[in-house]
Amino acid sequence: MAVHAHPDDESSKGAGTMAKYVAEGVEVLVVTCTGGERGDVLNPRLKGDPEIEENIHEVRRAEMERARQILGVQQAWLGFVDSGLPEGDPLPPLPEGCFALEKVETAAEPLVRLMREFRPHVVTTYDENGGYPHPDHIQCHRVSVEAFDAAGDPDRYPGTGAPWQPLKLYYNQTFSRARVQALHAAMLERTGSSPYEGWIERWDERGDRIEREITTHVNCADYFEVRDQALLAHATQVDPDGSWFAVPMDLQKAVWPTEDFELARSLVDTAIPEDDLFAGIR
């Protein structure tokens, strides 16, 4: 079970890993916490289209369905409303009724129900910083941890099904500095330019980036094309000519053929580093 904040997050964080496991016969469920209603249209070819902007909720549901089919996963909506990404100084308040303002227990209840129905052995989500500090990503972390810890307890969340305890909880760590710098150096060597130059400069300027411990590297290079197809299915959210697709596929596969995770909880014995989310379970 992969728990994500918005439609498109599943295709940019761990999609190759999911496609790999689907091909191996694993059942994979993507849980999408919000409808992504407040996401900006980032594809310049679609920006300003009134039909899209007036029906963004339906558009993003349709995009999610196309991505789901490409990845071969199952998918469920938790049904909460996108909080948007507040900008400005000082930051404006979050909109009333949004996902990030829900009580954790309220937001976790439908996820506990899904865990008890789907009965996953492994759950993936974001770390306590959300991967980046979007309020929905941070809330997704809180809700996922709450549900992971509660789903196996018969005294918690009564009426949401028979208890089921997932065995491992992981945080997506797709955008580690080590990966970005490796791809950056490879692009400079091959082409003399890199889409990651601005990223590294901003990290250096802020000086506040804390590197997480990467415990698990899943080799899924054979599924990078599937990952990109799924991401492109979220057409309103992705510029097909943008930095997501600037690194040639052969370079990606040669330089960094894995997707990476941080093991946050394990109820089984496993040896670090891992190369399989199901290490200790299979």
Q: Which residues are annotated as a binding site for Zn(2+)?
A: 6, 9, 137
Whole-angstrom distance, CA of residue 34 vs CA of residue 183: 32
Q: Give the whole-angstrom CA distance, residue 281 versus residue 122.
A: 9
> For residues 273 and 262, what is the distance between their CA atoms, to the nearest angstrom?
10
Query: And the tokens for 1?
Result: 């079970």
> Quick one: CA dihedral 232, 16, 3, 215, positive or negative?
negative
d(CA 67, CA 29): 13
| Residue reference for tokens 């990952």 | 227
Number of alpha helices (DSSP H) and beta strands (DSSP E) in the chain = 10, 7
Q: Which of 84, 77, 95, 98 is nearest to 35 (CA)?
A: 77
Residue numbers belonging to the annotated binding site: 6, 9, 137
Q: What's the N-to-C CA distance of the chain in angstroms?
A: 16
Tokens encoding 47: 């920006």
Q: Give the containing element (helix H, strand E) for 122.
A: strand 122-125
Q: Which residues does 167 contact at the CB level (< 8 Å), separation at least 6?
A: 121, 122, 266, 267, 268, 280, 281
